[in-house]
Structure 1
């Protein structure tokens, strides 16, 4: 799906009727199911698992063996080209995306069930290995589900609604795999919890067999065009494509080796020899991004320039004759074509797009690490208070925000909702700035709105009402911004190349937040939380400005393409 806005032109201003029609589609129901399946292993492997290890008296140093788990999600784009092109034996008939989705879900279900049978103390090696492989499959599932969402979207089950429903499922899974898992573990034990969650994923995998998939004919046409079109007259010479593939392949191969070596070292039995994950991401993260995104983008731009200038073109068709020729074409389609398509279609606009991707959610991703130290250490709330406010009340606010964001997408359009989400996400940082210096503004707002009365009725006090109000409003903004952001990112990638292109964009949003946490932590120690929240508000303001520029870009492109004003409003 390209970034054009014609696809959304309906001639009418959409509203609840269009939302309800979209929600009634089977695709939307499966999107909710797949969102839940994506969020559950992430919560269980990246968060809740540490609670199990703590109860099992596994020391913190030994827990460092699980540092590789987060990297699977941060660098999932590295193996995304394979997911776009490799078919699983006997499963291709399920569909290009479904073959991987169903396989990953069933594998994850088996992995969680197997984990429930292991003792994390006596079998830590197998336990950590299985958790790491599970995280790899979970990240793989994320890549393919994102691609499935882009590929199956249509005028009824729109990309905006599918993106919103996906995140709702994901958030509900975070609640089930987080707070609910903790509650159940107190009553039935950790092995039984993971057995139950594994069984749920197995059921989802079986149900996924009946999910609709992308149009098989469209995929076959794309594959055929790629296979024969690369060697037709007027296409780039195989030698040039081979050099480009060698350069990009070497860079991505280097990145895969670096990440793979780190993972193997993290699984070592000697804690002293295990690398530090934070230091790895801080030092190697930027280099990996440069090697796999920046430099390949320049190579793709050069290829696009050569294509448009007429240089190094085949004067006549040159069919593939050897296994090497076919391997070159296959690898080029998997790794380089998604980049050249993206760069060729976006042009210099790609700089604006990447800047927006890097900044839109940075305040949330950077600040999230310090939320608990802020609540528990700085503000001295109890663990029970924070758990209720962030896990139950907060998740409810996010889901409400997602529902509101999905509706706004149909009423205001994608870019207006994206702009509104950026503004609200930036301004909610001021709520925490107020909370860090006493929360007097929040207290006044809480009393005026009746929120204090509600908190006291439920057994709390004004101090608790301030925390609930701040978390509630922030998560409401996160829901609106998240719905718009995922819908926008999904709209700018191309069907057929969605796995690679979307995985690149989503990985960048995760990596940039990780890279900024060290500097933010140092600033908290030196200047306190108030200055940090003012800074994150200003960073959010940068995203607001970039959204405006992106809106102008899309509007201009729509006018150049002859798209009417109604379509632009719906963009």
Structure 2
């Protein structure tokens, strides 16, 4: 009887439609996911957007100095560089909060303190150093928070609060925060002052951090037991079938040197930019264009090749600990001969810890996906490239090319556009539940690509978009509210694109969350999501040049075609998953649930 009841409950949980969605929304995990999404989006909007408005209003900070603040965004682009520490290092005194929650709460409190501190400093040439330091601290803590929240989402997902629903809710919270930290912050500043705005926003972040103390998390006690069950080999790396320590040491050294070089390179660049005189400051766009690909090669491509080699030799039985030895007996107190592979020093145990933090996330991903890793990376690189590249040129297109006013753009993009985006996320979340992840991912890619044609039409007069707006009565509605047909045309195009981007965004985050392992979710998700951000940045220079030479119409046709390439990759990945027999809505694998073979 109990088994029958369990089967009935499981079947109800798997039914597509609004019943499943509503059941998921009633979970505490889902409510905290909305809160954490808001906490992730708020500092991003305040530090990389609204802060420039405050600096402009001060009248004492020149544009060149403001340009230095763009370096703060590097924390988000290269956040994967310190993600291994977030996956394996515990904060003293806070470990009992939970594996992920200890970092989430700490990061949110740091962000709140940094924003509150900014409210007591008037930006000027004398205070700009301290001002930039606090803004940089907030950005670093925000990027750190993003890494851990992404991992938390993967870790806590279950059959009710599914990864698809959690991914959608997260983005809804993020977009709401963008509206609060953008439009609402500007509204408040107009009626009060900037210190009041940042004091208020900092207070909100502190409240979120305090609320996070009660959020569900991975079982801290289970994590403690897993880490401490065998002091000789706490990571299970010195048993039969595992790579011998000597080979692991060489692999760790190679990956460590590459990641260390990337960290030092980015660090030196930021220090030079913030401390040198204005004439000697390096160009941030040039740095990302020139060094960005090298950093990706050093931290992703080469380590992935090393991981692939490790997987290959282990599966082939080469360079592995033979069955006659077992490193779990480090002493001879029982009369046994000590294994030559045992961890006999703190250096050995430190190497095991670093190997598990830095190399195993890569070997796990490559080992599970095999050659399909190429398809996955290609999909990650192309899926969001159309809107990632286009976003930089949106305002020049609206204000310069189409000659809309700032008020019109604010109404169409910030208010109406955000509403359309949230609607798209809601539709995407329902589609994930009703028709499945891969079909939603593929349709999202197609819609995100094809809606670029709406802007292509605007670039040559907007006749077709206006005709649709007139036909469905949207033009009359906008006119009744005080607008005109030109504003209705812009709002129609933005609505179409944002709904499509919302659907695609919900599907893409759910897809990324589904292919990472729970044990290594922080590193794996940070790597994949950072690739998406970096590629969009690298392509903007070429796109800007094309706009200058060919105009916006040709650019929108090109971005549509690029988006179609992503559609093809989605179909290939869909077929691959179907052939592998992977359940689309199954929770991500947990490599720590069973010992390695």
Range into which the TM-score falls when normalised by the shorter chain: over 0.9
- Cα distance in 2, alignment partners of residues 325 and 25 from structure 1: 43
- Cα distance in 1, alignment partners of residues 100 and 365 from structure 2: 20
CA contact (8 A) 1:84 1:497 kept: yes
Shift of 1:129: 1.0
Residues 1:187 and 2:194 are matched in the alignment:
no
Partner residue, 1:206: 210
Q: Which of 502, 507, 510 does residue 533 from structure 2 map onto?
A: 510
Matched residue SS, 1:154? coil
CA contact (8 A) 2:446 2:563 kept: yes
Q: How does 1:487-498 map to 2 (within 5 A)?
A: 487-498=510-521
Task: Choose 528-537 or 206-215, whichever is displaced more.
Answer: 206-215
Partner residue, 2:501: 478
Task: Choose 269-278 or 234-243, whichever is displaced more.
Answer: 269-278
Matched residue SS, 1:229? coil
Partner residue, 1:60: 63
Q: Which runs of 4+ in 1 moved over 6 A?
A: 8-11
User: If the length of structure 2 is used for normalisation, what is the TM-score?
Assistant: 0.91
Residues 1:172 and 2:172 are matched in the alignment:
no
Count of aligned residue pairs for this structure pair: 556
Residues 1:92 and 2:95 are matched in the alignment:
yes
Partner residue, 1:47: 49
Residues 1:300 and 2:307 are matched in the alignment:
yes
Q: Which of 288, 291, 294 does residue 281 from structure 1 map onto?
A: 288
- Cα distance in 1, alignment partners of residues 320 and 235 from structure 2: 15
Shift of 1:218: 5.5
Shift of 1:273: 1.9
CA contact (8 A) 1:219 1:496 kept: no
- Cα distance in 2, alignment partners of residues 49 and 202 from structure 1: 19
* Bigger radius of gyration: 2
Any stretches of 5+ residues in structure 1 without a counterpart? Answer: 1-7
Q: Which of 141, 151, 154 does residue 155 from structure 2 map onto?
A: 151
Distance 1:11-1:86 versus aligned 2 partners, 3 A rule: closer
Partner residue, 1:500: 523
Partner residue, 1:37: 39
CA contact (8 A) 2:469 2:488 kept: yes
Q: Which of 133, 136, 144 does residue 129 from structure 1 map onto?
A: 133
Distance 1:519-1:93 versus aligned 2 partners, 3 A rule: same
CA contact (8 A) 2:460 2:553 kept: yes
Shift of 1:216: 3.5
CA contact (8 A) 1:104 1:141 kept: yes
Task: Choose 429-438 or 217-226, whichever is displaced more.
Answer: 217-226
Shift of 1:268: 1.4
Distance 1:218-1:427 versus aligned 2 partners, 3 A rule: farther
Partner residue, 2:22: 20
Shift of 1:267: 1.2
Shift of 1:243: 0.1
Q: RMSD of the TM alignment (CA)?
A: 1.5
- Cα distance in 1, alignment partners of residues 585 and 252 from structure 2: 39
Shift of 1:233: 2.0
Shift of 1:313: 1.2
Please give the per-residue CA displacement for 1:464-515, whole angstroms capped at 9, x wherever unaligned. Answer: 1010000011000011000000000000000010000000000000000000
Residues 1:141 and 2:145 are matched in the alignment:
yes
Q: Which of 273, 278, 291 does residue 266 from structure 1 map onto?
A: 273
Please give the per-residue CA displacement for 1:365-405, whole angstroms capped at 9, x wherever unaligned. Answer: 00000000000000000001001111100000010110111
Shift of 1:222: 5.6
Q: How does 1:118-517 map to 2 (within 5 A)?
A: 118-121=121-124, 122-216=126-220, 219-220=223-224, 223=227, 227-268=234-275, 270-315=277-322, 316-317=325-326, 318-517=341-540
Matched residue SS, 1:65? helix
Shift of 1:332: 0.2
- Cα distance in 2, alignment partners of residues 353 and 298 from structure 1: 15
Task: Choose 343-352 or 272-281, whichever is displaced more.
Answer: 272-281
CA contact (8 A) 2:114 2:138 kept: yes
Matched residue SS, 1:214? coil
Matched residue SS, 1:497? helix
- Cα distance in 2, alignment partners of residues 64 and 449 from structure 1: 44
CA contact (8 A) 1:421 1:484 kept: yes
Partner residue, 2:81: 78
Shift of 1:269: 5.2
- Cα distance in 2, alignment partners of residues 218 and 95 from structure 1: 10
User: If the length of structure 1 is used for normalisation, what is the TM-score?
Assistant: 0.95
CA contact (8 A) 1:452 1:461 kept: yes
CA contact (8 A) 1:9 1:567 kept: no
CA contact (8 A) 1:83 1:144 kept: yes
Residues 1:110 and 2:133 are matched in the alignment:
no
Matched residue SS, 2:509? helix
- Cα distance in 2, alignment partners of residues 364 and 431 from structure 1: 13
- Cα distance in 1, alignment partners of residues 255 and 78 from structure 2: 16
- Cα distance in 2, alignment partners of residues 9 and 245 from structure 1: 45
- Cα distance in 1, alignment partners of residues 259 and 428 from structure 2: 36
- Cα distance in 2, alignment partners of residues 267 and 441 from structure 1: 49
Q: Which is bigger in relative contact order (C-alpha 8 A, separation at least 6)?
A: 1
Shift of 1:119: 1.4
CA contact (8 A) 1:35 1:165 kept: yes
Distance 1:275-1:161 versus aligned 2 partners, 3 A rule: same
Shift of 1:266: 1.8
Matched residue SS, 1:267? helix
- Cα distance in 2, alignment partners of residues 164 and 219 from structure 1: 28
Task: Choose 215-224 or 263-272, whichever is displaced more.
Answer: 215-224
Any stretches of 5+ residues in structure 2 without a counterpart? Answer: 1-9, 327-340, 587-597
Residues 1:527 and 2:531 are matched in the alignment:
no
